[in-house]
């Protein structure tokens, strides 16, 4: 681990993404987060777009409590009481498809979905503003929507700015962050940083550093064009073999993969070694962190660093 002192850096976002609980918290989830060394909490209230429907439903009685407005408010209160800053990160869960593939073939269907998404995001903006949430993420990996309907996004950003006074970002997928046309309207370039690095069973530190090198150049070039800091709105690795390449595919066969905490620790450590020296990099949010009492399927292989080797690595970086 690089021990160089970067004390001249501006505020660094050392965040975790909290998984929303199905019921009210059994105890304060922010205590463990703060003790680990994190200073930011990402709160993720999902909205749902059912298959072949042009709607978004959210804040519904059938949703998990932590994704509802009362759950959001309580989570933010816990975070602020613990001295944590908050990013509210509403995002779409699309049934049977990736959210980036949401696409409609009629103007009427697009208008219906956009009206529903606007209602969803503006209600979250009102909630964020009323709670003095420090950052709002206006969308996550909505690749096709941004590409096909830029006018909608331009208008939505303007409407959000009229409501919400904090900082804005958008969480672009690793393969489309350069194509998002509104970085100049954001406070941060947001990237979900699941870049394919190596398909080796357990890549070495040298292999990972070499894989990051061309990616860093592309991200830095975007920073230079926009003069905006870069934030990893999501980053993380499974604690398994083959965890540094196409992790969304590995999730489908996660139970077949051998547990490998060392691979997870190394991948996180290398990410920080590569990016922490870059003054334009503002840190990010580890995916993901479970609240007390949450029953986690495949926790030994999951992205979470809790009670694994990688928690100590992340804590060291977060406490620099």
DSSP collapsed to 3 states, 150-184: HHHHHHHHHHHHHHCCCEEEEEEECCCHHHCCCHH
Spatial contact of 39 and 86, defined as CB atoms under 8 Å apart? no
CA distances from 319 to 3, 16, 35, 230, 311 (A): 12, 14, 10, 20, 12
Which CATH superfamily includes the segment(s) 13-318?
Answer: Glycosidases (3.20.20.80)
pLDDT at position 75 is: 98
- Separation CA 268–CA 289 (nearest Å): 15
In the block, which residue shows the tokens 């609980």?
21
Query: Per this entry, what is the length of the chain?
Result: 320
Per-residue pLDDT 10s for the chain (320 aa) are 433 343 445 689 999 999 999 999 999 999 999 999 999 999 999 999 998 899 999 999 889 999 999 999 999 999 999 999 999 999 999 988 999 999 999 999 999 999 999 999 999 999 999 999 999 999 999 999 999 999 999 999 999 999 999 999 999 999 999 999 999 999 999 999 999 999 999 999 999 999 999 999 999 999 999 999 999 999 999 999 999 999 999 999 999 999 999 999 999 999 999 999 999 999 999 999 999 989 888 999 999 999 999 999 999 999 98
pTM: 0.95
pLDDT at position 9 is: 52
Q: Across the strands, what pairs with 169?
A: 137, 188
- Separation CA 77–CA 132 (nearest Å): 10
- Separation CA 222–CA 115 (nearest Å): 31
Spatial contact of 15 and 61, defined as CB atoms under 8 Å apart? no
CB atoms within 10 A of CB 227: 9
CA distances from 214 to 1, 159, 190, 209 (A): 21, 37, 18, 10
DSSP the chain: ------TT----EEEEEEPPPSSS-SS-THHHHHHHT--EEEE--EEEE-TT----B-S-TTS-GGGSHHHHHHHHHHHHHTT-EEEE--EEEETTS-GGG---SSHHHHHHHHHHHHHHHHHHHHHHHHTT-SEEEEEES-HHHHHH-HHHHHHHHHHHHHH--SEEEEEEETTTGGG-TTGGGSSEEEEE-------SSS--HHHHHHHHHHHHHHHHHHHHHHT--EEEEEE---SBTTTTS-HHHHGGGGGGSPB-HHHHHHHHHHHHHHHTT-TTEEEEEEEEEPPTT---TTTTTSS--TTSHHHHHHHHHHT-
- Cα torsion for 196, 201, 205, 211, to the nearest 10°? -20
* Domains of the chain by residue range: 13-318
- Separation CA 104–CA 113 (nearest Å): 9
pLDDT at position 1 is: 41
pLDDT at position 5 is: 40
């Amino acid at each position: 681990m690089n021990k160089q002192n970067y004390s001249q850096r501006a505020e660094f976002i050392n965040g975790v993404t909290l998984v929303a609980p199905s019921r009210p918290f059994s105890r304060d989830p922010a205590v463990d987060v703060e003790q680990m060394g994190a200073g930011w909490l990402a709160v993720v209230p999902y909205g749902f777009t059912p298959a072949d429907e042009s709607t978004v439903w959210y804040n519904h009685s059938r949703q998990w409590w932590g994704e509802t407005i009362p759950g959001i408010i309580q989570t933010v209160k816990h975070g602020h009481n613990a001295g944590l800053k908050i990013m509210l990160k509403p995002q779409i869960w699309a049934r049977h498809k990736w959210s980036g593939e949401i696409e409609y073939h009629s103007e009427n269907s697009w208008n219906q979905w956009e009206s529903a998404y606007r209602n969803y995001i503006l209600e979250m903006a009102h909630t964020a503003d009323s709670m003095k949430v420090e950052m709002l993420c206006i969308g996550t990996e909505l690749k096709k929507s941004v590409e096909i309907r830029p006018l909608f996004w331009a208008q939505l950003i303007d409407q959000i700015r009229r409501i919400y006074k904090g900082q804005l970002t958008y969480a672009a997928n690793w393969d489309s962050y350069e194509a998002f046309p509104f970085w100049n309207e954001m406070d941060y370039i947001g990237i979900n940083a699941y870049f394919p690095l190596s398909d080796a069973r357990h890549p070495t530190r040298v292999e990972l550093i070499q894989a990051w090198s061309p990616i860093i150049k592309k991200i830095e070039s975007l920073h230079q064009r926009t003069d905006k800091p870069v934030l990893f709105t999501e980053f993380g690795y499974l604690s398994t073999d083959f965890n540094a390449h196409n992790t969304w595919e590995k999730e489908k066969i996660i139970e077949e993969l051998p547990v490998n905490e060392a691979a997870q620790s190394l991948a996180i450590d290398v990410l920080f070694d590569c990016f922490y020296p870059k003054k334009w990099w503002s840190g990010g949010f580890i995916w993901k962190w479970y609240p007390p009492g949450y029953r986690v399927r495949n926790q030994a292989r999951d992205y979470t660093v809790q009670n694994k080797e990688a928690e100590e690595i992340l804590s060291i970086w977060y406490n620099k």
